[in-house]
Amino acid sequence: MQTPAPVDYARAHSVEEALEMLERYGPESRLIAGGHSLIPMMRLRIAQPERVIDINDLTDLDYIRSVGENGTSHLAIGAMTRHRSVLSSELIGELYPILHDAEKVIADPIVRNRGTVGGSLCQADPAEDLSAVAAALRAELVLQSRTGSRVVPAREFTDGP
């Protein structure tokens, strides 16, 4: 049986608290929500964070909505949105059926129920297709820190797991 290296645990109750913890604990910390990408990598010791920061309480990052700007609209999906929500979203089915197609083959029902869009994109798990779909759709990712936010094209975000 493969077991992860010892790791410290913290739980964030707001986006601001999570960002503060990431800054305080530094680059050897990782966020965890569903954990279906990070925990297997920790078991194999591919990832060995010193601390995991649980962000399951950050419900304000769980959304799917159409957002309009300057006469155009786009789809916005929050980082804490679960795969099951993407799969069941009528809005996504209407606008981007390729996302439904990808979600139908992501792992198994347990992962689809607990895993998050943000986790899939950040871990770049090759067993999931969201990174490839995001790149194909020319999606943009909004990255946030305590000092501000920036937009990064999905095609430039991932360079491997």
Residues 18-39: tens digit of each pLDDT: 999 999 999 999 999 988 778 8
Indicate the number of domains in the chain: 2
Which of helix, strand or coil describes residue 65?
strand
Same domain, residue pair 128 and 77 = yes
Give the C-alpha separation, 92 to 82, whole Å. Answer: 13
Same domain? For 42 and 65 the reply is no
Residues 99 and 135 in one domain: yes
Q: Both 77 and 143 in a single domain?
A: yes
Shared domain for 78 and 151, answered yes or no, is yes
Cα within 13 Å of Cα(95), Cβ side: 15
Cα-Cα end-to-end distance for the chain: 23
Using CA atoms, how far apart are residues 134 and 37, in angstroms rounded to an integer? 17
Rounded to 5°, the CA angle 110-118-61 comes to 100
| Whether 19 and 75 share a structural domain | no
Q: Are residues 73 and 150 in the same domain?
A: yes
One domain, residues 112 and 74: yes
Q: What is the pLDDT of residues 64-118, one digit of tens each?
A: 999 887 778 889 999 999 999 999 999 999 999 999 998 888 767 888 888 899 9
112-135 per-position pLDDT tens digit: 888 899 988 887 766 667 888 998
Residue 3 inside a domain? The answer is no
Domain extent, residue 32, equals 8-57
